[in-house]
Structures are given as structure tokens and as C-alpha cells.
Amino acid sequence: MPAPVTATLGFPRMGVGRELKRAVERYWKGDDDGQELGATAAELRARHWQLQVEAGIDRVPVGDFTLYDHALDTSLALGVVPARFGSTPFDPAAGDPADLDRYFALCRGADGHPPLEMTKWFDTNYHYLVPELAPDQTFTFSSTQVAAHLAEALAQGVPARAVVLGPVTFLALSKRTDGGEPLDLLDAVLPAYGDWVRSLVAAGATAIQVDEPLLVTDLSEAARAAYPPALATVRAAAPEAEITLATYFGDLGDATDLALGLPVDVVHVDLVRGADQLDRVLAALPSDTGLSLGLVDGRNIWRSDLAAVRPLLDRAVSRIGADRVQIAPSCSLLHLPVDLGRETGLDDELRSWLAFAVQRLDEVRILGTLAAGDRAAVADALAENTQAAVARRTSRRIHRPDVAERMASVTPAMAARPSPYEVRAKAQRDRLDLPLLPTTTIGSFPQTAEVRSIRSRHRRGELSEEAYVEALRAETEACVRAQEEVGLDVLVHGEFERRDMVEHFGLLLDGFTTTTNGWVQSYGSRCVKPPVIFGDVARPAPMTVEWSAFAAGLTDKPMKGMLTGPVTILQWSFVRDDQPLADTTRQIALALRDEVTDLIDAGLSVVQVDEPALREGLPLRRADHQDYLAWAVEAFRLAVGSAPDEVQIHTHMCYAEFGDILDAIVELDADVISMEASRSQMELLDDFAARDYPNEIGPGVWDIHSPLVPTDDDLDRLLAQATATFGRERLWVNPDCGLKTRGWPEVHASLERLVAAAARVRAATAGP
């Protein structure tokens, strides 16, 4: 039997030790002129390609690597540079040091100019930089980066497949500065795409992967109409190359015939999130088109049950033959940690249930060998895989009767505050006595090298528990005094005891475990280490009360207790796949409910329960929205439902398109919501005003993901927009997000300006 092709769609970029993160940040600090960064990037590319070659992968992706973001790299390949950065196209791969500075200016801002807007990549926790298009945008093929990487790979003997973000998805994820429809620019962008693809062919590409995940969403008529000419352009530019149309993150649904009718050689489908589509796809697949089967999960770390996966593979091979089948992960492995082999802290049982990116390569190889008919060659691996799958299903660590009993006791009344917002607001005003336009921050304060050292030395046993607590108390008190000094109205404790807003709770809740090196890229150089939810969730003891109560005792001002919400803990963890997500989220909500109650009993008058991932979790198909939003909203309300009227409940959201979930945000019924708004220039205000948002709101006026200190003019302009839309009575003044990644000098300067801007509005309000 002929052997099917094995493939991957993308690989993690940061390196198993986050080498790219460190190299990029050294460059930003001025400790490197770019030579070290370039060398580190090249070494990582070569290492990752070699890992895939050694695993027997026949189509190794090239062009998926980036110093910051692949959507940004696509913008530059097409000559898209906003005018504020000097709209002349440039080539980051050309070796000009000034081009590298311009590249990072788009990511982080420069010379007082704000960076590109950032938002979530479909329903993942990866953030991409939104392409910014002028209404008369011209496109010019301008970057040789993918061709340069392709030349590197071919020189190393890598069976390379060049990867490009497809033109329809690129435009659909873009924003026009005039608010127009980006897809109207299709005719303008396609010649540049054609030049780009021809450059890849000239560089030696014999296989090209065109990523079009938009195909698994509800397509507009404009998007449907765009696909035939878009893929025809690619086909014409590479008539001899194998063109793979890569779809992922879901089922093709009503776009099945459209996708399978495009002029490509192979279509990739996600059979992890869309297993039910296989028979439909096989029935419609043209006789001259191959099918790439996304059989192992590119987004979660649970080891594949190969015995359960095999029927899908066998069905495809029996229908179209092994020579037309490719075997691959469901999507790019970007969303996984690199290598389980680096994990030394996990117990053997848990470890046997997991697979990171390198282990996914082994699973693809095993399935390829099976499809080729050589079961004997992988018999031992299959037996061990089956044993692990059975052990996980039957483990006593997963299910807890006490958690099931509590879940069964939940009533609708538990998910409702005692009184409506209007009544609560009066009680909170009486208790808190806050000024007009109260100022606050989102939660975290700078995690300096000293703070990180304190935690690291404590973990290694080099710092006693007593010394550790004393050191963090000193940091917390200094943070409280700094907030008092700049004049903030509602304070936070700074979260110095927390490495991460989700991992912190994963360390303290039953049913979770954490990893040592399970890092994944969130955006740019920012990595997160998601905890692993393997079983029923319960809270064995209070998690935040000690630090919140300590900080509250240092000041007469209101102190916020800080919690991460149930949906965000779910979304930013690697979640068990053996029960509905709604059940896991409710378990987390009940644990948080206990924490909220304990914070209130400790005297906290304000509690913030952050839900930045609420929009991220929204299913890609509208038909699935209502069910998700119902259980997501219920989980938040269940978590905070024990709060009495006089306790003010805050929530926070950032970097997402909120217009799609405004009704759900209203239904959360938080007393105050703070949101990212500065990068998008308060774009969300119109949506919230149109929905007549009834409670209090703090649209962010300082973009904390940029090192720029906001100017008085910037703050006044953004506040003027906010007050013009919402008035002053229900408006808060705050940054976009937590301050963990910033330095104290810029934080102090920025907060002083933020407080002064609020004072100017108050003074104007008090005038004639």
C-alpha cells in the first residue's frame, strides 16, 4: 500500500526555553544590535525543522516563523504600512537595521504613534496585530522573508512547504481606517499575492500552504465571492506547485462545496473540532484532489487516543486511497508547548496522558505508518497508547462525588445578586464615597526582576517561607503607597505573589496541575504557561484572602480583591476533554464563589472578577453562540452571586471584538466593567452606547502593551470621547490592562497623568 503524506501546518516559535522571547527583549533593551536576534531566530528555525524531519514529516511548514506575529508579517509582505509609520513599504528580511526598528514600532508604537491594534486570533488566546488598511490602500509585494526562510530550509535538506496567510482571511481580519469593507480591496491585493507566490516558486517552493481558517466561520456573501478569484490567483502564480488549502478550528459546514471546488491540490480539514464533517467532505471531494486529515489536536495537550482516531483514517483511506491522503495535526502546533520531554515535575500518571508539539509529531508518524498498512512497525506504540487512554478514563483522580453533589445543588437564585443595579449602585456610593470619574488600575503592578527573583528563590528553597512573605509584604506595601501617592481612588495589592493570572489559581485548586516548561505564545514576546485541568475542580482553602486583606489594612482607600473569572480560567487552561466545557466552568465558578464570600467576610468592599476571555470562547458559528453565552454568563453570575448590594463587583475584558457579545456583557450585571479601548481609539464606545449599557464602565485610556507614556493630549482626547458617549456619572478612568509587564518609572509617570486627566474632567464638571 502506498504511504500517505505526513504534514504539519505550523510549529511553536519561541523555543522550548523561550529563547526567542529573551532575544527579542534583549534587542528592545538595546543590549543587541540585531545580530544576536537574527542568529537566535535562525537557530530556532533550523532546530524546529530538524525535529519535524527526524519525526518523518513529509511536508514541513516554512514561513510560519515570525519575530512577533504572522499577520503583521503578511501585512509587510503586501506592502501595508500605516502612514504614521512612514507608509513606504519595507522588507524586514533585507538586513537593514532600520527596518527591524520599523518592524517593532508597528508592534509597540514609536515616536508618540500608537501601535497596530491587537485582538484574538479566531477563538484562541493568541493575539494578532490587526492589518490597518486605508480606503485607497495600494498593495505591493515587499518582503522576501518567507523566500529567505525557504532558502534556509532547502539548504538544510528540509522537505519544505511554504506557508502564507490566505488573501480572503487576511482581508477579513483587517480593518479599514474609514470603516469600510476590507474585502472590497480584493482586486487591489491579489496582484501582490500573485507576486508573493511567484517569488516562492522562484525560491524553490514545490508545495505551498494557503491558510484560510475563515472558511470554518459564517461567511458573508462578499467572502464567498472572494474565494474563487483569490485561489485562482495563487494557482496561476504556481501552476506546478502542490497547493494546499488549510482550514482549521472547526467544520467547513455550508462552505464545504465552496472549499472543495477551489483550484487546489489538497484540502486540509480539522477532524478534532469537526469530526462529523468527514463523510460530507469525502462525498464532495473531487477525484483529483487530495485530503489532509487533521487527526491530532493542535490546541490541547491530551494525548490522542489513536484507537478512537483510527476509524476516521481508515474511512478516508478506503474511500480515496492512501495516495490521496495526508495526515496532520488539526491546526498549527503554535498553540502547544514544545516538548513534554522537558517536563520533570509531573507525576508519571499525569505525564502519560499528555502530548506536546514534539509528541504530536510522533502521533502523526504512527498514524502514517498505520495508513500505509504496516501495523507491526507501530504495534508497541499503539499498545502503550491504548493503555494510557484506558488508564486516564478509569483513574480515580478525575471524578469526585462531593463536587458532583455540589453541582447538583445549584439553583437559579444562586446566580443572581440580591437587588438590581440601581439599588446596588446607591448602596455602593454610600459605602465607598468615590469622586466623579473614579480612578483605578486593572490589577497587577510591575513584576520586577527583584520580585521574580524572590519567587524563584522561594521555589528553589533558597528563601524561607518567613523571608518570602516578608519580602512580598514589603513589595505590596510599596505598591499601595505608590498608588496613594499618585492619587488613585480604588487600589489593588499588585499581585506580586502571582506568576500568572490563571496559573496562580491552577496551583491552588484541586483538579489542576501545572507544568514547568509548558509555555505557549500569547502575543509578541509574551508567553503564558496554561495550567492543566485534569479532573473535578474544588477549592481546598482560600486563595487570595491573605494578601488582599493585608493590603486593605494598609490604607483607608477601597481595596479591590482580584480574581480571574471562571470562563477565563477555563479558556486559558488546557482543559479536560471528557466532559462538557459548561460543567467544568460551573465547577470553577463554585470554587470562586467561595473565594468571593471569604473576601467579603474579610472586609473587602470591592471585588474584581476578570473575564477577558469571554469573547474568545465564543464559538465561530452563530448557531452555537446562544448555548455558550448562556452557560458562560451563568458561571460568572454564580461566582459573584453571594455579594451583597454594598459590595461593588468589577470585571475586566481586553483585546477582543465585543460587539458580538454585548447582550451577554449586559447580562453579567457587573457593577463596573473596565475594557481595553485605547489601541482601537475608543472604537467600542459606539457599540456600548447603541446597546444602552446600563451599568458603570471604564474604557481604557492608556495602552499598557506599548512602552509609550500617554501624553496629556492623548488622555484628554480619549476621555472626551468617553464622556461625550457615556456622560460622567457612570464613567471610570483606568488603563487598558494589568501593569505586570511594564516598568515602575513609566507606570508612575503614566498613572500620574491618568489621575490628572480625570481631575481635569472633574474640575470642568464643577465649573459654571
**Burial of 401: CB neighbours in 10 Å, binned 0-12, 13-18, 19+:** exposed
Classify the C-alpha dihedral 652-655-658-664 as positive or negative. Answer: negative
| C-alpha cell at position 285 | 471531494
Q: Which residues pair with 132 in a beta bridge?
A: 175
Count of Cβ atoms closer than 10 Å to residue 345 Cβ:
11
Q: Which residues pair with 532 in a beta bridge?
A: 513, 574
Strands (E), 428-525: 510-513, 520-523
Q: Averaged in consecutive runs of 10 residues, what is the pLDDT profile of the chain (768 residues)?
A: 89 97 96 95 98 98 97 97 91 87 93 90 95 96 96 98 98 96 98 98 98 98 98 98 98 98 98 97 97 98 96 96 97 98 91 97 97 91 95 94 96 95 96 96 92 89 92 96 97 93 94 95 95 97 96 97 97 96 98 98 97 92 96 98 97 79 94 84 80 91 85 92 90 92 93 96 76
Q: List the one residue out of 489, 494, 552 whose CA is nearest residue 698.
A: 489
Q: List the one residue out of 171, 267, 145 whose CA is nearest residue 210.
A: 267
| C-alpha cell at position 492 | 489593588
Q: Look at residue 658 in the predicted model and tell me its pLDDT.
A: 76
Q: Look at residue 768 in the predicted model and tell me its pLDDT.
A: 43
Q: Look at residue 655 in the predicted model and tell me its pLDDT.
A: 64
Domains, the chain, ordered by start: 5-394 (3.20.20.210), 424-766 (3.20.20.210)
Q: Check if 705 is active-site.
A: yes
Q: Look at residue 678 in the predicted model and tell me its pLDDT.
A: 75
Spell 190-211 as b/e; 16+ CB within 10 A means b.
Answer: bebbbbbbebbbebebebbbbb
The rounded distance, in Å, linking the Cα atoms of 607 and 599 is 8
Q: Look at residue 266 in the predicted model and tell me its pLDDT.
A: 98
Q: Look at residue 685 in the predicted model and tell me its pLDDT.
A: 81
Contact 585, 636 (CB under 8 A): no
Chain segment 640-696, per-residue pLDDT in tens: 999 999 999 999 987 667 778 999 999 999 999 998 877 777 777 888 888 889 999
Provide, for the chain, the percentages of residues in helix, strand and coil under a 3-state DSSP scheme, each rounded to the nearest 5: 50, 15, 40
Catalytic residue among 48, 493, 705, 748: 705
pTM: 0.93
Q: Look at residue 156 in the predicted model and tell me its pLDDT.
A: 97
The rounded distance, in Å, linking the Cα atoms of 466 and 458 is 10
Cα-flanking dihedrals φ and ψ of residue 160, to 5°?
Answer: -85, 145
Q: List the one residue out of 281, 373, 275 whose CA is nearest residue 320.
A: 281
Q: List the one residue out of 536, 272, 252, 567 whose CA is nearest residue 402.
A: 536
